[in-house]
Amino acid sequence: MDNTTNTQKHSVLIIGGGNGGISVAAQLLRKMPGLDIGIIEPSEKHYYQPAWTLVGGGDFDIEKTVRKTRDVLPKKVTWIKKYADTFLPEKNLVITKDGQEISYQYLVVSAGIQINWGWIDGLEETLGKNGVCSNYSFETAPYTFKSLQNFKGGTILFTSPATPVKCGGAPQKIMYLAGDYLRKKDLLSQTNIEFCNAGKVIFGVKKYAETLNKVCERYGVTQNHRHELVSIDGNKKEATFSVTQADGSKSKVVKRFDMIHVTPPQSAPDFISKSPLADANGWIDVDKHTLQHKKHPNVFGLGDVTNTPNAKTGAAIRKQAPVLVANLLEVLNQKTPESQYNGYGSCPLVTGYGKLVLAEFDYDGNVVETFPFNQAKERYSMYLLKKKVLPWLYWNRILKGKA
């Protein structure tokens, strides 16, 4: 790589070396070993984020969720360790934050979702102390378990915001682990657990919602729907919610807490929203089946950053990556892209230690289960899948383009 020339060129340029970006690079190289691929990725660290739920529950080592980017990038890829900033799709150019121009024939955008801690007044000042925790970052996830260990009874709040989030089930998975932890410690009877959810239901797919409602009963969880966290005062241990009534009117409710797990509001990254590749809501504007950009046929997108209406999960990427790769190669060979993604998303809903409901569904909310048994039932085998099998699969197969 030569950063001194004005314009660097790659046949395929990938924005983001996270789950989506590396999956696509590795799969492309398996199909076309000589392909010239560049990845713009500023971070020296690569994270396996799905395990942060178990880290928060004290059942997974945080250090096993991180590896060096250099060790997970396919060897034949050129790593451009910079921030992508400006897209000029008419000229097939991306400009990095420090002004480097990079041109491409084909562009793949997989820059993930942006966490907006600052959208909740007072959160940044108190996160990581006063019992205010969040599994939504490498730095903060271990404090969730510390808070649980320090908890001696009282009120625990679990929040879920009004924005799209990565892994929509994660805000409640940690709640069930907390409930189970306190049950084992014999503290459940002295604990008030509340799920303060900006949405309207516990889970969008009825089959799984039925099980989850029973799990809530087991841990004595009060479900407060249409409750959006707007501010937090860690010293006073108070959280303020904007509550939407059935008639659409809004009111403020202040709740005292001894511990609170916050799922932060999320959005498309700012550099994506301001780009000509974004839709009106800021997400990369792709066809939801082919993953090809709606205006620029040599641009594709996958993962959390696109406007495809599926659950934003690594599981979705596992189904999106082969579709994107097949379609990109079709376009490269002057053919029409024909592979189709059906909106598959999966949510391994941890419901306690050694208990998991494996939800799997498509764009239309149809249940599309992998195993020949009822996955709405809590199972130990599915917990093992999450704790042992999926992390292994991620590092050894998915990032290597083999799954």
Binding site for ligand FAD (CB under 6 A): 15-21, 40-43, 49-50, 52-53, 83-84, 110-112, 135-136, 166-167, 170, 269, 271, 303-305, 312-315, 317, 348
Residue 248 Cβ vs ligand FAD, minimum distance, rounded to whole Å:
31
Strands 37-40 and 7-15, how do they pair?
Answer: parallel
Strands 101-109 and 7-15, how do they pair?
Answer: parallel
Nearest to residue 305, comparing CAs of 326, 328, 329, 279?
279
Q: Is residue 347 flagged as an active site residue?
A: yes
Residue 362 Cβ vs ligand FAD, minimum distance, rounded to whole Å:
15
Residue 111 Cβ vs ligand FAD, minimum distance, rounded to whole Å:
4
Nearer to ligand FAD, 265 or 269 (CB): 269
Query: What is the per-residue DSSP string for 108-170?
Result: EE----EE-GGGSBTHHHHTTSTTEE-SSSTTTHHHHHHHHHH--SEEEEEEE-SS--BSTTH
Residue 348 Cβ vs ligand FAD, minimum distance, rounded to whole Å:
5
Nearer to ligand FAD, 92 or 100 (CB): 100
Nearer to ligand FAD, 130 or 140 (CB): 140
Q: How far is CA 76 from CA 29, 39, 69, 159, in A?
A: 8, 11, 14, 42
Residue 69 Cβ vs ligand FAD, minimum distance, rounded to whole Å:
8
Residue 152 Cβ vs ligand FAD, minimum distance, rounded to whole Å:
26
Please tell me the distance from the alpha carbon of residue 359 to that of residue 367, in angstroms, as a whole number: 8
Q: Is residue 167 flagged as an active site residue?
A: yes
Nearer to ligand FAD, 237 or 293 (CB): 293
Q: Which residues, other chains included, contact 29 with Cβ-Cβ below 8 Å and sequence gap of 6+?
A: 35, 37, 74, 76, 77, 401
Nearer to ligand FAD, 188 or 272 (CB): 272
Nearer to ligand FAD, 42 or 89 (CB): 42
**In the complex, which residue's CB is closest to ligand FAD?**
18
On the 0-12 / 13-18 / 19+ scale of CB atoms within 10 A, 298 is middle
Please tell me the distance from the alpha carbon of residue 158 to that of residue 177, in angstroms, as a whole number: 12
Residue 56 Cβ vs ligand FAD, minimum distance, rounded to whole Å:
8
Backbone phi, then psi, for 137, in 5-degree steps?
Answer: -155, 160
Q: Residue 71: which H helix or E strand, with range?
A: helix 69-72
Please tell me the distance from the alpha carbon of residue 174 to that of residue 358, in angstroms, as a whole number: 15
Kindly name the residue from 133, 196, 216, 347 that is annotated as catalytic: 347
Please tell me the distance from the alpha carbon of residue 15 to that of residue 120, in angstroms, as a whole number: 28
Nearer to ligand FAD, 53 or 188 (CB): 53
Q: Name the residues annotated as catalytic.
A: 167, 347
